[in-house]
Structure 1
Amino acid sequence: MHSMRKVIALLSAVTAVAALSGTTAASASPDTFAAQDTGQGKLVWSSCGDTATPALQCAMLDVPVDYADPHGRKIKIKVNRLPATAPKSGQQGPILLNPGGPGDSGLWMPAYIAGQIPQDVASTYDWIGFDPRGTNASEPHVLCDAHYFDGPRPDYQVSQGTSKAWLAKAAGYAADCAADWSWLMPHMTTVDNARDMDSIRRALGAPKINFYGGSWGTSLGSTYGQLFPSRVRRMVLDSIVGPTITWYDHNVLQDKEHQRRFDAFADWAAKADSVYHLGTDGASVEKAYQQVEADLRTHPVDAAPAAGRIGPAEFEDTFYGGGYNFLRWPRMATVLSAYVTHHDTQPLNIAYNRYAAPGADDGTFPAYNAAQCTENAWPRDWEFWKEDQAKVNASAPFYTYNNMWFNAACMFWPHQGNTAGRLKITGKGLPPVLLFQATEDAATPYEGGLAMHDALPGSKLVVQNGGSFHEILFHGNACLDDTFTAYLRDGSLPEGRGRIAKTCAPEAAPDPVYVTPTPAFAGKAAAKPLAPTDPEAVHGVHR
């Protein structure tokens, strides 16, 4: 893309569209938009052609780009549903589903989640998935730079002298987004997506909706509840983004929690020295990690079948997901063991292709930036970032600079953040909301669950003490899943009256096994990428 075009687009976007970045959102009162003509279209259902779930239906829904101009330019939202099969008298209406991101597809969720709970409850709901605006199968699918994540990327560690390269890369990405998408980017906030949910509700002909959201989906759900409290019947928020923290500060919290999870992984692997041979203390395991990363700086590994090579940045991306899902730990430890003890790179290649290899384009990264960079006023001065992030890195070196560069486009984002912050969540007019939070969650730290409970006076908070999954439902924990099912069945809530209404135990850590390739992959370099329902998959806010 021509550099002058980028600069012009960037400057014009900053001056002309900054006012559109959500200033009405922070001051919107409950149900402000509930009575307005939103200008959205109708849902015309047809088979999705899903052989595993033939009953699944798909449709596209026209919605306004800008809800302040409901009859202006339109975009399309991809929606699917698994219809209720219970007798009409026993049906409980639609339940909208979102896995987080921001921007992740929810189309896999109706069939999956309905299959995780007893049929007598699942059959009473219309399960509704959707792709957030500008993402996945919604139209348009926003693409800023299809090759942004191609490897090898510059080293994340500032000590390696790559800061100028990353600053140029991040600024170029922001300019690319502005060049082609300045008409849409200011309208891809959480508030815009919440209004899309109400457009879906209207098109379904439902007076109220139910909702389940995880990770960023908790921001989406609470935002919907703030804008349209009278339209909420039941709401479940799982692994919660605090309602008042800025996105910049949220990322700093993530850095600290990911360090704790990496330390926990290292201690776990050290206890299995007879399996992995990485040393008998966590420090030795972490030293092995650092050794592999250092080697990859001078000897990157071919990433086949993915394009490019696995250098230190790609290596870090392969490992940070262990903070979301500790079922990855045996494979992570195997990667280190194979490399350090035999210089065998095949486990690394398999893990990279399963966990971290980029897709065909930049995926949901435009939506991620459009929401996070626009909803808060981010620091715009690199000198501030450099000094502040160095302080964080001093105690949390595993993830800090990886996370910093992932979010660096916000330093240059053309649509200025709303200085008033995200929509204030008060819970006024909402029915009781059911909250789930693990104490060791790295992606949405525990403080967020407490803060959301405090913001929603009628809510009930279920805490998994010692739990570390990101999005803690549907991992086979009956204490958690049965609480969810009871609420969906008849609105039953935990009876505890304190700040924490119910406590559940964590799942056991995985067995320390050396993960060898299955026979099908014995002679190949990589395994198939994870499906959203794979036990080792992670959902939600990816940073």
Structure 2
Amino acid sequence: MLTALVAMGAVLASVTPASSSSPVGQAERDAGQGKLVWSSCNDPATPALQCAMLDVPLDYAHPDGKKIKIKVNRLPATAPKSRQQGPILLNPGGPGDSGLWMPVSIAGKIPQDVASTYDWIGFDPRGTNASEPHVTCDAHYFDGERPDYQVGKGTSKAWLEKSAKYAADCAANWSWFLPHMTTVDNARDMDSIRRALGVQKINFYGGSWGTTLGSTYGELFPSHVRRMVLDSIVGPTISWYDHNILQDKEHQRRFDAFAAWTAKADSVYHLGTDAAAVKRAYYQVEEALRSHPVDAAPAPGRIGPAEFEDTFYGGGYTFLRWPRMATVLSAYVTRNDTRPLQIAYNMYAAPGADDGTFPAYNAVQCTENAWPRDWEFWKKDQAKVDAVAPFYTYNNMWYNAACMFWPYQGNQAGRLKITGKGLPPVLLFQATEDAATPYEGGVAMHKALPGSKLVVQNGGSFHEILFRGNSCLDDTFTAYLRDGTLPAGKGFIARTCAAQPDPAPVYVTPTPAALKTQAPTALPPTHPEAVRGVW
């Protein structure tokens, strides 16, 4: 079977995508002249919010060919025309996460004398969410109970088959689209939005993969950038395979920090007074779920060890989840109570109606770099990582395993080279303990963008650190948007901000109705609603 899977990967890999790093030609500059016809989004909470669909070329090398649609929304500026500063495009990362929630959310988090001067623009990346078409490869790919992530449990064959089938299903239905879902394609969509807005320059805020999108846009279209903010940064030269290994090691550090925090609160959670005892409790629950999975209701299926791991890894994105995570362990170990686990799974890990943005994630990551195609290499290499970072390594490995079989071989040259040539000063934000986009990425981007200013949250661990209530960070962002003011520090780091304190340890008791009413969120872990503080 493994031989057949490798052969399948070789066949699928023989299809070569259009280059994603070619320079912008005249035809591409003239492409994307679709129009935005705004109408109400019918949002009762924000009547001013407007929506539109924008036609863009599927392939910017052939601008007169097939068109697809991008969903765009806008919260218009309300300041007098003389004070308006143009549109600011927004992207939360992913790759593929919806940006439609961002105009209202972010504009509401900064002073209105600044927010009112911008048109806040959200959009859904091509092939995702409300853009058309919405790419779906296997609507039930994330349904529980899924095979155990740990290779020592004998499930590697099942995961290889599952990953190969996912890649084949994507190729069978979307071979005409998948090669055109790269970061460069999305950056060109942003320029189509700019043109449709009728402006010469745009502003941009992006987090996580949005930093790759923003820096790529700046490389392709530097003369069209007015201001740019990148928050929680992917390094501009690291391969996606290597980036995931960095994530594994940083998620281990965050899990260690969670265990130490929980141990200090033994009077609340009763899991032991040292981090090792808390970790033993975690693996005790995971082992129990191998033989006795828990009903996932109201989500379909059951919660086994894979679903359990999915519920917990989000603690590396935000420690606001730590009290709920500790409660899950405490309830199970000390009370044999599975309700907190069921609720947490439905909040943080249960699948949505289909495979969501996973096709876009794969289309970007698998296509933009050359990935190892040999399972024997993965098995040996990932075992080395797991030896030092067992919390997340195999979870993350299988999440990315479709890249072994992806139908479009990655570009050997990697992603578009970022030089910053012609760009105005870019404002960079990075936390030192970020697990999803490790600190090295912020350092590398700062070096790649001459004139950029790096703001570091020392000891901070949030992924996407703005708009979390840290005035040092948020005031720096606001000053830049207000009038272009940059932090004045002359060193490599222009400004250092303190981290927020750890959350208070609280045993979070669900209400009797919580289990019946809690529905799956299917939200990205950085979305504000995905880290709400109550059950």
Relative to structure 1, the CA distance from residue 433 to residue 215 in structure 2 (aligned partners, 3 Å threshold; closer, same or farther) is same
Q: Answer yes or no: is the 8 Å Cα contact 1:144–1:362 preserved in 2.
A: yes
Q: Kindly indicate whether the alpha-carbon contact (under 8 Å) linking 2:69 and 2:126 is maintained by their aligned counterparts in 1.
A: yes
Uncovered stretches (5+) of structure 1, i.e. residues with no partner: 1-5, 539-543
Number of residue pairs aligned between Structure 1 and Structure 2:
526
Q: Which of the residues 203, 213, 219 maps onto 1:226?
A: 219
Question: Alignment partner for residue 375 of structure 2, among 352, 367, 382?
Answer: 382
The equivalences for 1:389-538 within 5 A come to 389-518=382-511, 520-521=513-514, 524=516, 526=518, 529=521, 532-534=527-529, 536=531
| Counterpart amino acid of residue 18 in structure 1 | T
Among 66, 74, 85, which residue is 2:67 paired with?
74
**Partner residue in 2 for 1:311:** 304
Residues 1:238 and 2:236 are matched in the alignment: no
Q: 2:38 aligns with which of 45, 54, 57?
A: 45
The match for 2:21 among 1, 26, 31 is: 26
Match of 2:161 among 162, 165, 168: 168
Aligned to 1:63: 56
Query: Is the CA contact (8 Å cut-off) linking 1:40 and 1:70 kept in structure 2?
Result: no
CA RMSD, 1 decimal: 1.8
Further displaced range: 39-48 or 165-174:
39-48
Structure 1 residues 275 and 527, CA gap change in structure 2 (3 angstroms): farther
Superposition deviation, residue 41 in structure 1 = 1.3
Is the alpha carbon distance of 1:33 and 1:514 closer, same or farther for their aligned partners in structure 2, counting shifts above 3 Å? farther
Which residue in the other structure is 1:133 paired with? Answer: 126
In 2 relative to 1, CA 103–121 (structure 1 residues): closer, same or farther, beyond 3 Å?
Answer: same
Other structure's SS at 1:18 match:
coil
1:211 equivalent in structure 2: 204
Asked whether the 8 Å contact 2:349–2:522 carries over to 1, the reply is no
In 1, Cα distance between the equivalents of 2:394 and 2:236?
A: 25
Shift of 1:499: 1.1
Q: Distance in 1 between matches of 2:491 and 2:245?
A: 29
Contact 1:78 1:131 in 2 (8 A): yes
CA distance in 1, matches of 2:123, 2:156: 37
Q: 1:334 to 1:34 in 2, by over 3 A?
A: farther
Q: Residues 171, 35 of structure 1: CA spacing in aligned structure 2 closer, same or farther, 3 A cutoff?
A: closer
Distance 2:369 2:152 in 1: 29
Alignment of 1:316-355 (within 5 A): 316-355=309-348
Residue 350 (structure 1) shift: 0.4
Please state how far the C-alpha of 1:534 moved relative to its aligned partner: 2.8
Task: Give the alignment partner of residue 192 of structure 1, picking from 178, 185, 188.
Answer: 185
Tell me, yes or no, if the aligned pair for 1:9 and 1:179 is still in contact at 8 Å: no
Matched residue, 2:254: 261
Residue 136 of structure 2: aligned partner: 143
* Structure 2: segments with no counterpart, 5+ residues: none
Q: Aligned with 1:92: secondary structure?
A: coil
Query: Structure 1 residues 449 and 273, CA, compared in 2 at 3 Å: closer, same or farther?
Result: same
Q: Is the 8 A contact 1:226 1:426 kept in 2?
A: yes
In the TM superposition, what is the alpha-carbon distance from 1:8 to its structure 2 partner?
12
Shift in Å, 1:536? 1.4
TM-score, with structure 2 as normaliser: 0.96
Contact 1:530/1:536 (CA < 8 Å) preserved in 2?
no
Report 1:10-21 matches (<5 A).
14-15=13-14, 17-20=15-18
Aligned to 2:272: 279
Instruction: List per-residue Cα deviations over 1:247-303 (Å, max 9, x = no partner).
Output: 000000000000000000000000000000000000000000000000000000000
CA distance in 2, matches of 1:440, 1:9: 39
How far apart are 1:224 and its partner, in Å? 0.1
Q: CA deviation at 1:533?
A: 2.3
Residue 178 of structure 1 pairs with residue 171 of structure 2 = yes
Question: Aligned pair 1:95/2:88, yes or no?
Answer: yes
CA deviations on 1:81-111 (whole Å, 9 max, x unpaired) are 0000111111000000000000000000000
Equivalent pair of 2:331/2:338 in contact (CA under 8 Å) = yes
Deviation of residue 201 (structure 1)?
A: 0.2
Q: Which SS does the other structure have where 2:160 is aligned? A: helix
Q: C-alpha separation between the residues in 1 aligned to 2:303 and 2:26?
A: 48
Shift of 1:525: 7.7
- Structure 2 residue identity aligned to 1:236: V
SS of residue paired to 1:235: strand
For 1:324 and 1:257, locate their aligned partners in 2 and report how far apart those are by CA, in whole Å.
Answer: 11
Percent of paired sites with the same residue = 81
Q: Which amino acid aligns with 1:414?
A: P
Deviation at 1:498, TM superposition (A): 1.3
CA distance in 1, matches of 2:517, 2:445: 44
Shift of 1:40: 3.6
Distance 1:327 1:380 in 2: 38
Q: Find the aligned partners of 1:356 and 1:13 in 2 and give their Cα distance.
A: 30
C-alpha displacement of 1:26: 2.9
* Contact 1:349–1:526 (Cα < 8 Å) also in 2: no
- Distance across 2 between alignment mates of 1:215 and 1:507: 20
Using the alignment, how far apart are the partners of 2:27 and 2:462 within structure 1?
36
Cα distance in 2, alignment partners of residues 13 and 95 from structure 1:
39
Q: CA deviation at 1:34?
A: 9.1
Cα 1:337/1:496, change in 2 over 3 Å: same
Contact 1:95 1:209 in 2 (8 A): yes
Which amino acid is 2:102 matched to? M
Distance 2:528 2:227 in 1: 25
